[in-house]
A and B are shown apart, each in its own frame.
Chain A
């Protein structure tokens, strides 16, 4: 998917139509190596549909903006320069946040990945920033030597190195693009602007893509279980996946314990209880079969939910690699043993049913 802004880039000199080319970004100073694109602050319906597709994980790597330099409004040589990633959600958040500000936006090539993830990987990094400053001829376009980066780009960028190589000073703006207007008014970011949050809205917006990623295997498991063990078992599979991908992100701060795995085990345990109660009371089965069926539910559902919950570490704003590593070594074996034991119980029940024991 190509952002409409890309098309604007190719028609950069459309602003000459206004008969005031000298005031617009299209009056490229001599020495400028690349054309400057134009961007607007208005987010169109098409942009919003692109955001929805990105949130659903559709064409995941295709939500890109052409890297390069864009002008917003009618910037001049003293206008601020912002940097962003070439991911449509990042770029659109920035350009809409600075509506009414005449500025330049330097879009780095991050392979269609957002600022923070790209910074973690290094693609939103020192080398790319230096390369992009040079390739766009930014030193010949602005008089000042300052570029405003999103704060979450800091894990990839070394400001002393950028200064040394380009003589541009890197200034870190706020975490959230929405705070940019206040940041520009005050010239500084408050401590609150510098802190990353993970509110319910941010967690919920992640749930569709989380669910979509495991929907296919979950559907396959549900269908197989339907034919092998009935509709309740099929529903249990769906419940475990929904708990891990939807309920867990929504309830993350409210579930006791700090570790994702134990939180997942607790949530999965709660979800498993009604299924276990149902399986424990199926009338025609002998006691041992009822107990085995209930035990299977109590073992498998929490294990699946906990595994999905553990995988959510990559989506959060606070999980450290050291901590995640500890979690993996501590709890993945537990999850594997629980799931394995539950599956063995299920197989025993299946074989018993096949041979008419129950």
Chain B
């Protein structure tokens, strides 16, 4: 009840994996670790859906509905009648972006 982060959209097809190690290299939370013949999803519940693994997997063995977990941007999008999952929910853009010049600019853009 008090953990909304136990499930995510990460999907891994181990049969496709060529064990290149890129997913382990790019994941900032150690979701994947190198294995003997294929990458091992060691901590899938730690996935923050950044999409780095899927984007850098050369054989598309990984898929994830990537996005930025910025509550303000998502609420703001919903209040403006836009899809909370739309591309406007994220840092770095203009309208709808939590970091856009026309927004309140929360510090999500200063942290990393």
A262: which B residues are within 8 A, CB to CB?
Answer: 2
A209 contacts B107, C-beta separation under 8 Å: yes
Question: Residue B55 at the A interface, CB < 8 A?
Answer: yes
Q: Roughly how many angstroms separate A315 CA and B98 CA in the complex, as a whole number?
A: 10
A156 surroundings in chain B (CB, below 8 A): 55
- Partner-contacting stretch, out of A31-39, A73-81, A317-325: A317-325
Q: Inside 8 A of B26's CB, which chain A residues have their CB?
A: 151, 154, 172
The answer to whether A320 touches B8 (Cβ under 8 A) is yes
The number of chain B residues touching the other chain, given as a range, is: 35 or more
Residues on A with C-beta less than 8 A from B56 are 154, 157-160
B91 and A195 form a contact (CB under 8 A): no
Verify if B70 is at the interface (C-beta below 8 Å from A).
yes
Given A60-B101, A257-B3, A323-B69, is A202 in contact with B111 using a C-beta cutoff of 8 Å? Answer: yes
A276 contacts chain B at the CB level, 8 A cutoff: no
B5 to A120, Cβ gap below 8 A? no
Closest residue of chain A to B59, judged by CB?
Answer: A160
- Asked whether, in the complex, the Cβ of A114 is within 8 Å of the Cβ of B71, the reply is no
Knowing A259-B4, A320-B5 are in contact, say whether A114-B109 is a contact too (CB < 8 A): yes
| Residues of chain A from 184 to 212 with CB closer than 8 A to chain B in the complex | 189, 191, 194-196, 202, 205-206, 209-210
Alpha-carbon gap, A124 to B111, bound state (A): 16
List the A residue with the shortest CB-CB distance to B94.
A111
Q: A151-B26, A314-B98, A325-B84 are in contact. List 9 more A-B contacts (CB 8 A).
A: A117-B112, A121-B93, A189-B25, A194-B24, A195-B30, A205-B111, A259-B2, A328-B84, A330-B4
B interface majority secondary structure: loop
Q: Establish whether residues B65 and A321, one from each chain, have CB atoms under 8 Å apart when the complex forms.
A: yes
Contacts of B92 in A (CB 8 A): 110-111, 113, 117-118, 120-124
Say whether, besides A213-B106, A314-B106, A321-B49, A114 and B112 are in contact (CB < 8 Å).
yes
Which residues from chain B contact A330 at a C-beta distance below 8 Å? Answer: 4
Interface residue? B95 (CB, 8 A): no
